[in-house]
Amino acid sequence: MDNNALEILLRKIVREETEPIKQDIHGIKGEQQKQGQDIHGIKQDFQGLKQDVQELTQNVQGLTQDVQGLKGEQQKQGKDLQLIKKQNRKMQKNQDAILAFLNKEDMTLHKKVARIERHLNLAPIGN
């Protein structure tokens, strides 16, 4: 066998031995590409989830601020209600004092009318 035939034979053997390996490597590369695409998809999903979490966090912060505002408003309304109740108590005391004064003045007036009636020998009014 000459060198050319030997070289051709060696190439054929090498090709026969390396071809399955090349096909395996090609398959592995294809699988790696598929896994890379899957990883890329997963990364995009995580980015989407991250944005969703950020939006939810902002929403929760907004709701927290709303609740704090409502609590502040409720406290203000509670203070306003206490002030109104206090003013009502003052007005009731003033009304009671005025009524007591009017009753006293009424009694005094009745006594004066009674004295005048006696002085003038008149019959009492209303009889």
Side-chain half-sphere exposure of 92, counting CA atoms within 13 A: 6
Give the per-residue pLDDT at 6: 85
Per-residue pLDDT of the chain (127 residues; tens, 9 = 90+): 688 888 888 888 888 888 888 898 999 999 999 999 999 999 999 999 999 999 999 999 999 999 999 999 999 999 999 999 999 999 999 999 999 999 999 999 999 888 888 888 766 665 5
Residue where the block lists tokens 């206490």: 82
pTM for this predicted structure = 0.47
Which tokens hold the place of 53? 């979490």
Between CA 115 and CA 27 the distance in angstroms is 129
Give the per-residue pLDDT at 72: 93
Which three-class secondary structure state does DSSP give residue 125? Answer: coil
Between CA 14 and CA 18 the distance in angstroms is 6
Give the per-residue pLDDT at 123: 64
